């Protein structure tokens, strides 16, 4: 088949790279989508062979491992988890009849895209990801880091020119206000210091190595030699490369091109613009978190393009559910094209089921919604009569329980978490401060204020990336006239609205109560 999609591309599936994993969202989706279990069973056969460990046991066992845990203890598992989550999301979408016109990946996600398009088997995809980790480890890549700067690629390059360090490089160009730099750890400390002097936000990326930097050039030949031995098959869907800035072609040597990824930058923003210009109207992020869908929204701002996440928790809910609904409403997914016919009527010919669903499918969906609503109300009623019943109800039907949760939200500020010191500045209570911060964050992120509850996880649940959190904290500091944050400050410690409120309150305590320095932030 031709590598380039035909005119009128409408749907692009995007696969995330570093940081693209949400363990809780994946576990929640696994309860209702068997595709996740089937994908990770295939991954297990390879990780058991290579590491003597089943990756699914690390991700779905009693101990709930998040991405940071995996990076600290099992770097290989972090990369396999990102790859596996992307494939699992793709399989779920395909089972629902969603058929993309083009696939694209961000860094590691490009391997996932090629596997989804049939270039390699699922198992060989794991071997590629694992060998990528192994060859970098042997080259001492663990001594490097990646840092995201709240600046354009052009401004970032000018900053790097001040250091004149050949191993330092622009690794990814995400959008006009975010660029990732990769290189040796010590030199990146200087980059962060200079960025701070220029009032440019900087935050470290959750990744085990400094990808897309000249420092990894020695690892590329060994990696290419390994991938060359694997079976390479023709693509069954077009795959666009943000690294190559073109579609993969039938005659491409994928081993050599994947090895080039070690040193070449990811020009994600340019790739999104190209896909948009050639007709892509809907971008679906097939994988964990919602980082790529947010980047797409930034790049395509002002256009009619839609960006939809899948395996991410937003406002405490699984984004996959709303994305599937949106795709069905747009006519980009339908049960007769997916797995519903196999589930409900395996003996009925596909064309007969398609005709039936076309005529009566809406009636069936309305009936199911009515029944589910009645079931939800009945389980809520049982929950108030007995303390022993809610647990099995939640296990059997997790989403209705989540829908019922917002009811007590307005009361959350009435029971605030005490500040670290236990004291409050005279005339400036925590409730008032919490309300002001909630308004500031809601306006900046364009979210409803009521999603910012005391314990809501900014990144894990709302999808607010680290660079944006740094920017928001800078706004807070300016508004309240707070002193510069100490060098040991760790953003991960202040990952909820309640913790941020307590941090600001403590700062105000330390310097005495006063009104905000700015009314607008």
- 352-365: b or e for each residue (b if 16 or more CB lie within 10 Å)? ebbebbeeebeeee
Domain that holds residue 381: 343-403
Rg (CA), the chain: 24
Task: Please give the pLDDT value at position 162.
Answer: 86
How many Å apart are CA 500 and CA 224, to the nearest integer?
46
pLDDT (mean) for 26-45: 95
Task: Please give the pLDDT value at position 343.
Answer: 60
Asked if residue 416 and residue 399 are part of one domain, the reply reads: no
**What's the distance, CA 492 to chain centroid?**
17
How many Å apart are CA 419 and CA 430, to the nearest integer?
8
- Please report whether residue 283 resides in a domain: yes
Q: How confident is the model at residue 80 (pLDDT cuts 50, 70, 90)?
A: very high
Q: How confident is the model at residue 22 (pLDDT cuts 50, 70, 90)?
A: very high
- Please report whether residue 91 resides in a domain: yes
Asked if residue 373 and residue 275 are part of one domain, the reply reads: no
Task: Please give the pLDDT value at position 320.
Answer: 96
Where a domain ends, among 371, 403, 435? 403
pLDDT (mean) for 327-334: 87
Task: Please give the pLDDT value at position 181.
Answer: 95
Q: Is the pLDDT of residue 57 over 50?
A: yes
Read off the pLDDT of residues 335-383 as tens digits, 9 standing for 90 and up: 555 555 556 665 555 445 655 665 666 567 667 767 776 777 777 655 4
Asked if residue 82 and residue 57 are part of one domain, the reply reads: yes
Total Cβ atoms within 10 A of residue 331: 8
Q: Is the pLDDT of residue 7 over 90?
A: no
Asked if residue 484 and residue 418 are part of one domain, the reply reads: yes
Task: Please give the pLDDT value at position 349.
Answer: 54
How many Å apart are CA 21 and CA 81, to the nearest integer?
7
Distances (CA, A) of 420 to 278, 458, 492, 503, 516: 53, 20, 16, 8, 21
Pairing of strands 178-184, 282-285: unpaired
Asked if residue 421 and residue 393 are part of one domain, the reply reads: no
pTM > 0.75: no
The CATH number for 286's domain is: 3.40.366.10
Where a domain ends, among 352, 368, 403? 403
- Please report whether residue 54 resides in a domain: yes
Asked if residue 460 and residue 491 are part of one domain, the reply reads: yes
Asked if residue 429 and residue 322 are part of one domain, the reply reads: no
Asked if residue 361 and residue 215 are part of one domain, the reply reads: no
Q: How confident is the model at residue 4 (pLDDT cuts 50, 70, 90)?
A: low
Q: Is the pLDDT of residue 15 over 60?
A: yes
Task: Please give the pLDDT value at position 465.
Answer: 72
Task: Please give the pLDDT value at position 341.
Answer: 57
Q: How confident is the model at residue 495 (pLDDT cuts 50, 70, 90)?
A: confident
Q: Is the pLDDT of residue 84 over 90?
A: yes
pLDDT (mean) for 60-66: 83
Pairing of strands 246-247, 239-241: antiparallel
pLDDT (mean) for 210-225: 92
Asked if residue 246 and residue 215 are part of one domain, the reply reads: yes
pLDDT (mean) for 71-95: 92
Give the strand order in the sheet containing 202-204.
Answer: 169-175, 178-184, 144-149, 202-204
- Cβ contacts of 29 within 8 Å, gap of 6 or more: 36, 88, 92, 311, 318, 320
Where a domain ends, among 377, 403, 429? 403
How many Å apart are CA 250 and CA 234, to the nearest integer?
7
Q: Is the pLDDT of residue 37 over 80?
A: yes
Task: Please give the pLDDT value at position 129.
Answer: 97
Q: Residue 308 pairs with which residues in a beta bridge? A: 284
- Please report whether residue 472 resides in a domain: yes
Q: How confident is the model at residue 209 (pLDDT cuts 50, 70, 90)?
A: confident
Total Cβ atoms within 10 A of residue 124: 18
Q: How confident is the model at residue 295 (pLDDT cuts 50, 70, 90)?
A: very high
How many Å apart are CA 317 and CA 350, to the nearest integer?
33
Structural domains counted in the chain = 3
The CATH number for 465's domain is: 1.10.1200.10
- Percent of the chain with pLDDT strictly greater than 90: 47
Read off the pLDDT of residues 379-401 as tens digits, 9 standing for 90 and up: 765 543 333 333 333 333 333 33
Q: Is the pLDDT of residue 124 over 90?
A: yes
**What's the distance, CA 178 to chain centroid?**
16
Asked if residue 376 and residue 312 are part of one domain, the reply reads: no
Q: Which position has the higher pLDDT, 128 or 338?
A: 128
Across the chain, mean pLDDT equals: 81
Asked if residue 445 and residue 389 are part of one domain, the reply reads: no
Task: Please give the pLDDT value at position 270.
Answer: 97
Q: Is the pLDDT of residue 111 over 90?
A: yes
- Please report whether residue 419 resides in a domain: yes
- Cβ contacts of 40 within 8 Å, gap of 6 or more: 55, 56, 59, 60, 84, 88
- Please report whether residue 172 resides in a domain: no
Asked if residue 358 and residue 321 are part of one domain, the reply reads: no
- Say which range, 24-33, 163-172, 318-327, 425-434, has the weakest mean pLDDT: 425-434
Apex CA 81: angle with CA 79 and CA 82, to 5°?
65
- Please report whether residue 9 resides in a domain: no
Find where tokens 């590491």 sit.
51
Q: Is the pLDDT of residue 61 over 50?
A: yes
SS3 content of the chain, % helix, strand, coil (to 5): 55, 10, 35
- Please report whether residue 190 resides in a domain: no
Q: Is the pLDDT of residue 417 over 80?
A: no
Q: How confident is the model at residue 8 (pLDDT cuts 50, 70, 90)?
A: low
Q: Is the pLDDT of residue 422 over 50?
A: no
């Amino acid at each position: 088949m031709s590598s380039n999609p035909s005119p009128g591309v409408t749907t692009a599936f995007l696969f995330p790279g570093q940081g693209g994993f949400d363990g809780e969202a994946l576990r929640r989706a696994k309860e209702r989508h068997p595709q996740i279990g089937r994908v990770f069973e295939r991954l297990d056969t390879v990780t058991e062979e290579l590491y003597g460990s089943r990756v699914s046991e690390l991700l779905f066992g009693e101990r709930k491992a998040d991405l940071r845990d995996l990076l600290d203890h099992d770097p290989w598992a972090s990369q396999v988890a990102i790859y596996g989550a992307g494939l699992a999301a793709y399989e779920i979408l395909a089972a629902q009849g969603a058929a993309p016109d083009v696939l694209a990946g961000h860094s590691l996600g490009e391997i996932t895209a090629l596997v989804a398009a049939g270039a390699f088997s699922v198992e060989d995809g794991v071997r590629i990801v694992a060998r990528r980790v192994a060859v970098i480890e042997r080259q001492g890549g663990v001594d490097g880091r990646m840092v995201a700067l709240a600046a354009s690629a052009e401004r970032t390059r000018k900053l790097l020119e001040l250091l004149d360090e050949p191993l330092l490089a622009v690794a990814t160009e995400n959008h006009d206000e975010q660029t990732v730099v990769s290189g040796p750890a010590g030199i990146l400390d200087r980059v962060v210091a200079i960025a701070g002097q220029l009032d440019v936000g900087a935050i470290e990326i959750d990744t085990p190595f400094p990808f897309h930097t000249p420092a990894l050039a020695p690892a590329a030949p060994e990696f290419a030699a390994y991938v060359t031995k694997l079976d390479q098959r023709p693509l069954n869907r077009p795959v666009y490369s943000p690294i190559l800035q073109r579609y993969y072609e039938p005659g491409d040597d994928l081993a050599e091109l994947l090895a080039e990824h070690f040193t070449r930058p990811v020009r994600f923003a340019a790739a999104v613009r190209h896909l948009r210009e050639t007709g892509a109207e809907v971008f679906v992020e097939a994988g964990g978190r919602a980082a790529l869908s947010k980047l797409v929204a930034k790049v395509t701002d002002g256009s009619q393009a839609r960006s939809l996440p899948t395996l991410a928790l937003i406002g405490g809910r699984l984004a996959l559910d709303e994305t599937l609904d949106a795709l069905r409403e747009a006519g980009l997914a339908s049960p007769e094209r997916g797995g519903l016919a196999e589930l409900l009527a395996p003996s009925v010919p596909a064309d007969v089921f398609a005709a039936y669903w076309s005529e009566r499918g809406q009636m069936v969906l309305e009936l199911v919604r009515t029944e589910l609503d009645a079931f939800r109300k009945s389980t809520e009623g049982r929950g108030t009569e007995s303390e022993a019943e809610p647990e099995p109800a939640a296990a059997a039907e997790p989403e209705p329980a989540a829908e019922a949760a917002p009811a007590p939200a307005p009361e959350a500020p009435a029971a605030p978490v005490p500040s670290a010191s236990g004291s409050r500045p005279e005339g400036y209570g925590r409730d008032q401060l919490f309300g002001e911060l909630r308004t500031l964050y809601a306006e900046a992120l364009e979210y409803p204020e009521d999603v910012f509850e005391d314990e809501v996880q900014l990144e894990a649940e709302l999808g607010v990336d680290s660079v944006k959190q740094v920017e928001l904290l800078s706004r807070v500091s300016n508004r309240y006239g707070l002193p510069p944050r100490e060098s040991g400050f760790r953003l991960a410690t202040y990952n909820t609205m309640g913790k941020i409120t307590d941090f600001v309150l403590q700062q105000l305590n330390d310097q005495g109560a006063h009104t905000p320095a700015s009314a607008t932030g």
